[in-house]
Structure 1
Amino acid sequence: MLPGLKAGFTLDARLEADSEHLMWLGLCELRLMNDRRWPWLVLVPQRPGIEELHDLTPLDQAMLTFEANMVAQALKRTTGCAKINTGALGNIVRQLHVHVVARSEGDPGWPGPVWGHGLREPYRRGEARKFAETLRTAL
């Protein structure tokens, strides 16, 4: 079992394919979406069978809010973005996960949502690692 992984928890295959592990937080695994158009992070609570925020215990809800805020603040500091978008949609990937996306005027798709906008642009070799190190330092 990986460090931080909770017994009985399995990451959705689509999340695993579209993102890279950054670090373990208290409740969540923090992942980087492999799309260089936006600094885009995903928090995945390590609880089996959870699809909705209200499925979490009150303590886990508080912890998820704390971790999402911590990640959003670090992302804003490191990118200098104009706006942080935070969302938990789950229409395609049912497993509860929270997107935290840094947005700036003039980025692809501004001011619209990042979902469904154009084709994903994977990080070039080394770019994701460098960005991940910057975020780890900020956190």
Structure 2
Amino acid sequence: MFVLDSRLEQDTLLVGDFPLCRLLLMNEARYPWFILVPRREEVSEVFQLDLADQRQLWQETTFLAETLKDSFGADKMNIAALGNVVSQLHMHVIVRRRDDAAWPAPVWGKHPAEPYTDEQVAAIRSRLRLVLTENFNFAEESGRES
């Protein structure tokens, strides 16, 4: 049974589910920073997924990155699966702009997180909802509150 790592649950807001991955929004308002987590048990590395899931992960990641680039006017998209602190496999998909607070450095560890307001979260969900549901088998989740 899939269980989201408690650190990811603590630091993110639930957006919904792709066919393979749970889509989370990092609760850091300075950057549109999303995390995809394959809903598979005890997976910490991409190579632990079967080939079909590996392809699905990459498809969901690239679709999300393209959608975010267009929706948020990115100068660069950062995509990474690090897992040094949280071992559960998760893919960071981060919109970067030349004028963001950390450019060109990494976004993590630069400064304390600036949480989203409820209105900001609603606007982001609304912005993504139409594109994701029309172009991908995406299901919104209402389980965890923002």
The structure 2 residue matched to 1:51, chosen from 44, 48, 53, is 44
Residue 116 (structure 2) aligns with: 123
Sequence identity (%): 42
Indicate the structure whose relative CO is greater, using CA pairs within 8 Å and at least 6 residues apart.
Answer: 2
Deviations 1:14-62 (A, max 9, x none): 1001111111101001111110000000000000000001111111000
Q: Which residue, 89, 98, 104 being the options, matches 1:111?
A: 104
1:92 aligned partner: 85
Corresponding residue number in structure 2 for 1:11: 4
Q: 1: distance between equivalents of 2:27 and 2:34?
A: 9
Give the secondary structure class of the aligned counterpart of 1:101. strand
Deviation at 1:125, TM superposition (A): 2.6
Please state how far the C-alpha of 1:136 moved relative to its aligned partner: 1.6
Q: Please give the TM-score of this superposition, normalised by the length of structure 2.
A: 0.88
Give the drift of 1:84. Answer: 0.3
2:20 maps to which of 5, 24, 27: 27
Match of 2:69 among 64, 76, 92: 76
Q: Specify the code of the residue in structure 2 equivalent to 1:69.
A: T
User: How far apart are 1:119 and its partner, in Å?
Assistant: 0.8
Q: State the Cα distance separating 1:76 from its structure 2 match.
A: 0.6
Which segments of 5 or more consecutive residues in structure 1 lack a partner in the other structure? Answer: 1-7
* Distance in structure 1 (CA, Å) of the matches to 2:35 and 2:119: 20
Q: Which runs of 4+ in 1 moved over 6 A?
A: none
- TM-score, normalized by length of structure 1? 0.93
| Alpha-carbon RMSD | 0.7
Listed as ranges, the gaps of 5+ residues in structure 2 are 133-146
* 1:40-90, Cα deviation, whole Å (9 max, x unpaired): 000000000000011111110000000000100110111011000000000
Distance (whole Å) between structure 1 residues aligned to residue 60 and residue 129 of structure 2? 13
Native 8 Å contact 1:38 1:101 kept in 2: yes
5 Å matches for 1:34-45? Answer: 34-45=27-38
What's the CA shift for 1:94?
0.3
Is the partner of 1:126 in helix, strand or coil?
A: helix
What is the aligned length? Answer: 132
